[in-house]
């Protein structure tokens, strides 16, 4: 590994040296054929073989350096890992950086056969996400949030929301498995989640489309009175690795469409910020001659950023000053106003998201219909609250005047959406309409880190196409790493081979570690499942997942040894009336027992433990016709239950090619037809 690194460094130096001899290509929108740039000149410092490849492919020096920057020889691990939402696949994607290799798809809200998720195991977690008793086995995941300590990723847990049904899931990063799903009792859909407070005391789930709280009914004519927004604070119990709904609460908000939230940190710790759109409270109805939502919700020049005092809200909740919605404590809008929990301030033109600088001093908002980002000062907000100089909205919520709280505005380009930060005093904003990323300079304490004037556009780079979120390595924490930026592009169009009318999304890796103004595009990665919205990038060294489960007989759900663990030599089948209990082990290359004889109508409880201690020695277990399909990682114990209602002969077998004798890793489940035992006895 050390030798490989050395070789890489030497090659990189050679190539960089050769690149500097070539005039830099002007940056412009890429042409679909990707042509236009000169091929690498002969004698540019490459070996004869490499030069021949470069020439045959028409590679430019930039192409070659991009290839080298992302290439990892076999066995070399990535420096960073991305956790990306899987969009409406309901799952989470794990991607290595800089290689952009897909490392894993984590099953979350949706059954995932290769992980045995939802086919005998995982069902109880999936069932926690049932909505009003109905099975909902998909989700529209939007915003993953890594757990934080002191405002920095700690690599322990991952949270993610389901916009479609207002649910939140928790993934334990010791085994990358989903442990819990909570359904919001107050809201039927969400968007402003998940985000965590700096020590992960709370997981934030903000709403989106206003509706009567508690999934109630009210006609749209009553929108102003009966429809409401909300933000829920889920208390996280780190020891249990679970959200504790009994210590969680919601704040009722006006029926503006809360969009995204972010937790204050350092200077602003204890406060929460949520942007919103449709402060117009448009209710649509294009078919009745009303302005469509897209027009009605964009009439006004401003919407409202919400400032929420979480410290005060927690006090009020703990004092019991709440009402109940579906049995869940809610701080009413009036209480939030009376107690100084909620303030508003204008934000320009249909914004999307609020992003807080690493020091917690500034809140960045981009109006989708405004070419600027607007930067707010936390200090000025606090002073404005202190001064008491404000008007109120229709609901009596104080509205802090924009001029009192605004720090700066930077014109960045068309369709600005989301912003992240690096370690050199720059911010990066995605430009949906321009299909570009804008880099701009921060002010305040960051002004010393870069040569430019504060609050200035420094440069833009084109992406392909229609970028939504972007992410920088640890770029939403108190200490961003810079180095890499990933553009999460909504459209791919011509970037990849045509695979029919439904196209993948395009993640583009950009090197932002260059000093100066260049941002080099390195790599395009197609995302062929769902539409990822947001992602976070964590240093790989911060993760410490298990290689195998800590002890034989481990139950991943409880993260402890299962009382039903089966040790080698303890395999057996126990009958108790018409209940049959199977105690089975799996190891290369056999299940014990290999014959399971039961009778039609028996209730079967089947315990199975993978007793392997070798890294990667996973066994599968499937029973045909009974819809059972497990993945048993080394040490893992699982229990499945079913009624043997179908007689016949069923070969259970291992679904992982685990050894040379994997095909022999099988057994017979013989289900005697009803009454046959009685017949034989005669
Ligand atoms: Cu697609 Cu954050 Cu849900 Cu923006 S969100 S693009
Ligand atoms: Cu175990 Cu194949």
| Residue 373: partners with Cβ closer than 8 Å, 6 or more residues away | 364, 365, 366, 409, 410, 412, 416, 419, 427, 429, 440
Q: Whose CA is nearest to atom 5 of ligand 1?
A: 533
* Gap between the Cα atoms of 229 and 418, Å rounded: 22
| Ligand 1 near 88 CB (within 6 A) | no
How far apart CA 218 and CA 226 sit, in angstroms, is 7
State the closest ligand 1 atom to the C-alpha of 430, by its place in the atom list counted from 1. 6
What's this model's pTM, rounded to 2 decimal places? 0.92
| pLDDT average per 10 residues of sequence, the chain (682 residues) | 42 39 37 45 73 95 94 98 98 98 98 94 94 96 98 98 98 98 97 97 97 97 98 98 98 97 98 96 94 90 96 98 98 98 95 96 94 97 97 98 98 97 97 97 97 96 97 98 97 97 97 79 96 97 98 97 97 97 98 98 98 98 96 98 97 97 97 71 46
Q: Tell the residue nearest (CA) to atom 3 of ligand 1.
A: 142
In this structure, are residues 662 and 591 in contact, taking their beta carbons and an 8 Å threshold? no
Where b means 16+ CB within 10 Å and e means fewer, 571-597 reads bebeeeeeebbbbbbbbebbbbbeebe
Question: Ligand 2: residues whose CB is within 6 Å?
Answer: 619, 654, 656-658, 662, 665
Kindly state if the Cβ of 432 falls inside 6 Å of ligand 1.
Answer: no
Measured distance CA(643)–CA(622) in Å, rounded: 16
Count CB neighbours of 268 within 10 A: 24
CB distance 352 to ligand 1 below 6 Å = yes
**Whether the Cβ atoms of residue 169 and residue 176 lie closer than 8 Å to each other:** no
Residue 71: Cβ within 10 Å count: 13
What is the reported pLDDT for 27?
Answer: 40
Edge-to-edge order in the sheet of strand 351-356: 351-356, 362-367, 372-377, 406-411
CA atoms of 509 and 485, how far apart (whole Å): 6
How far is the centre of ligand 1, averaged over its atoms, from the C-alpha of 259 (Å)?
9
Distance from Cα 589 to the centre of ligand 2, integer Å: 6
Q: Is 246 helix (H, G, I), strand (E, B) or coil?
A: helix
Instruction: Calculate how far, in angstroms, residue 553's C-alpha sits from the geometric centre of ligand 2.
Output: 18
CA distance linking residue 226 with residue 228, whole number of Å: 6
- What is the position in ligand 1's atom list of the atom closest to the CA of 533? 1
Q: Virtual CA dihedral for 189, 192, 193, 199, nearest 10 degrees?
A: -150
- Asked whether the CA dihedral 252, 253, 255, 258 is positive or negative, the reply is negative
Strand partners, 670: 597, 649
Those residues with Cβ within 8 angstroms of residue 50's Cβ, 6 or more apart along the chain or in another chain: none
The residue whose CA has the least distance to atom 1 of ligand 1 is 533
Q: Which atom of ligand 2 is nearest to the CA of 653?
A: 2
| Ligand sitting nearest the alpha carbon of 505 | 1
Q: Is the CB of 84 under 6 A from ligand 1?
A: no
User: Strand, helix or coil at 312?
Assistant: helix
Task: Evaluate whether 611 touches 586 at the Cβ level (below 8 Å).
Answer: yes
Q: Which residue has the tokens 């077998």?
A: 653
Query: Left (φ > 0), alpha (ψ -120 to 50) or beta: where does 207 sit?
Result: beta
Q: With a 6 A CB cut-off, is 439 part of the ligand 1 pocket?
A: no
- 469 Cβ below 6 A of ligand 1: yes
Q: What whole-number distance in Å separates Cα of residue 131 and Cα of residue 190? A: 14
Tokens of 319: 């004092």
Which tokens go with 290? 């009303």
pLDDT at 44: 57
Contact 654/625 with Cβ under 8 angstroms? no
**pLDDT on residue 24:** 36
Residues 6 or more apart in contact with residue 49 via CB below 8 angstroms: none
For a ligand 1 pocket test, name from 86, 353, 416, 532 the mutation site with the most ligand atoms within 8 angstroms of its C-beta: 353
Question: What pLDDT score does 360 carry?
Answer: 98
In contact, 637 and 554? CB cutoff 8 Å: yes
Which of 357, 342, 347, 443 lies closest to 395 in space, CA to CA?
Answer: 342
| Dist. CA 436 → ligand 1 center (Å) | 16
H-helix or E-strand containing 587?
strand 579-587
Question: How many residues can be counted in the chain?
Answer: 682
Other beta carbons within 10 angstroms of residue 499's beta carbon come to 11
Give the pLDDT of residue 122. Answer: 87
Expressed in angstroms and rounded, the spacing between residue 116 Cα and the centre of ligand 2 is 14
Q: How many angstroms separate the Cα of 39 from the Cα of each of 64, 283, 682?
A: 10, 56, 88
Distances (CA, A) of 121 to 274, 546, 627, 630: 37, 20, 11, 7
Report the run of H or E that residue 381 belongs to, with start and end. helix 378-387
Using the mean position of ligand 1's atoms as its centre, give its distance from the Cα of residue 477 in Å.
19
Sign of CA dihedral 34, 39, 44, 47: positive
> Which ligand has the nearest atom to the CA of 145?
1
What is the pLDDT, as a whole number, of residue 680?
52
State the ligand closest to the CA atom of 659.
Answer: 2
Please tell me the distance between residue 141's alpha carbon and the centre of ligand 1 in angstroms.
Answer: 10
- Closest ligand 1 atom to Cα of 260: 2
Distance between start and end Cα atoms, the chain: 72
| 636 C-alpha to ligand 2 centroid (Å) | 14
Q: Which residue has the tokens 């009803």?
A: 674
Identify the bridge partners of residue 486 per DSSP, sorted by sequence position. 471, 509
Nearest CA to ligand 2 atom 1: 619
pLDDT score, position 349: 85
- Structural element, H or E, at residue 340: none
The ligand that comes nearest to the alpha carbon of residue 619 is: 2
Write out the two tokens for 413: 């380009």
Is residue 155 within 8 Å of 546, Cβ to Cβ?
no
Task: Give the pLDDT of residue 544.
Answer: 97
């Amino acid at each position: 590994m050390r030798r490989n690194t050395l070789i890489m460094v030497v090659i990189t130096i050679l190539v960089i040296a050769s690149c500097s001899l070539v005039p830099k290509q002007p940056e412009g929108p890429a042409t679909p054929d990707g042509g236009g740039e000169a091929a690498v000149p002969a004698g540019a410092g490459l070996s004869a073989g490499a030069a021949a490849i470069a020439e045959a492919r028409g590679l430019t020096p930039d192409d070659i350096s991009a290839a080298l920057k992302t290439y990892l020889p076999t066995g070399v691990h990535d420096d960073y890992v991305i956790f990306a939402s899987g969009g409406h696949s309901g799952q989470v994607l794990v991607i290595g950086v800089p290689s952009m290799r897909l490392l894993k798809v984590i099953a979350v809200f949706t059954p995932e056969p290769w992980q045995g998720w939802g086919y005998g195991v995982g069902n109880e977690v999936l069932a926690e996400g049932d909505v009003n008793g109905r099975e909902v086995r998909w989700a529209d995941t939007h915003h993953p949030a890594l757990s934080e300590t002191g405002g920095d990723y700690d690599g322990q847990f991952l949270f993610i929301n389901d916009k479609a049904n207002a649910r939140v899931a928790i993934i334990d990063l010791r085994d990358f498995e989903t442990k819990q799903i909570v359904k919001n009792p107050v809201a039927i859909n969400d968007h402003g989640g998940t985000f965590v407070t700096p020590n992960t005391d709370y997981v934030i789930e903000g709403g989106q489309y206003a509706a009567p709280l508690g999934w109630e009914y009210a006609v749209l004519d009553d929108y102003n009175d009966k429809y409401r927004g909300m933000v829920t604070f889920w208390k996280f119990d780190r020891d249990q690795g679970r959200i504790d709904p009994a210590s969680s609460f919601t704040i009722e908000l006006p029926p503006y469409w809360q969009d995204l939230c972010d937790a204050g940190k350092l200077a602003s710790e204890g406060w929460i910020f949520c942007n919103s759109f449709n402060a117009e409270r448009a209710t649509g109805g294009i078919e009745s001659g009303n302005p469509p939502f897209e027009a009605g919700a964009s009439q006004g020049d401003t919407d409202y950023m919400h400032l929420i005092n979480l410290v005060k809200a927690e006090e009020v909740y703990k004092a019991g000053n709440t009402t109940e919605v579906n049995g869940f404590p809610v701080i009413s809008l009036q209480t939030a106003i009376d107690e100084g929990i909620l303030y508003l301030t204008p934000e320009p033109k249909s914004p999307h998201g609020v992003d807080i600088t690493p020091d917690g001093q500034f809140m960045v908002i981009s109006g989708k219909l405004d070419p600027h980002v607007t930067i707010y000062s936390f200090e000025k907000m606090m002073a404005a609250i202190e001064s008491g100089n404000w008007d109120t909205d229709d609901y009596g919520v104080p509205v802090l005047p924009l001029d009192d709280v605004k720090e700066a505005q930077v014109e960045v380009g068309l369709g600005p959406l989301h912003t992240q930060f690096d370690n050199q005093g720059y911010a990066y904003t995605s430009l949906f309409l321009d299909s570009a990323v804008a880099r701009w300079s921060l002010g305040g304490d960051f002004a010393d880190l870069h040569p430019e004037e504060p609050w200035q556009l420094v440069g833009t780079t084109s992406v392909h196409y229609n970028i939504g979120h972007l992410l920088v390595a640890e770029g939403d924490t108190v200490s961003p790493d810079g180095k890499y930026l990933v553009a999460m592009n909504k459209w791919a169009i011509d970037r990849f081979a045509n695979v029919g009318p439904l196209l993948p999304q395009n993640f583009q890796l950009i090197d932002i570690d260059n000093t100066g103004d260049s941002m080099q595009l390195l790599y395009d990665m197609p995302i062929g499942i769902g539409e990822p919205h947001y992602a976070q990038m964590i240093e790989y060294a911060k993760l410490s997942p298990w290689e195998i489960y800590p002890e034989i007989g481990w139950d991943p759900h409880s993260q402890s040894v299962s009382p039903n663990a089966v040790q080698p030599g303890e395999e057996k089948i126990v009958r108790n009336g018409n209940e049959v209990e199977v105690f089975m082990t799996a190891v290369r290359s056999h299940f014990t027992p290999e014959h399971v004889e039961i009778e039609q109508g028996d209730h079967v409880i089947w315990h199975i433990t993978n007793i392997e201690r070798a890294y990667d020695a996973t066994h599968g277990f499937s029973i045909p016709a009974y819809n059972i399909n497990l993945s048993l990682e080394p040490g893992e114990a699982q229990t499945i239950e079913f009624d043997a209602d179908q007689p016949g002969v069923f070969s259970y077998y291992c679904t992982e090619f685990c050894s040379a004798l994997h095909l022999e890793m099988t057994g017979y489940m013989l289900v005697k037809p009803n009454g046959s035992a009685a017949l034989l006895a005669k």
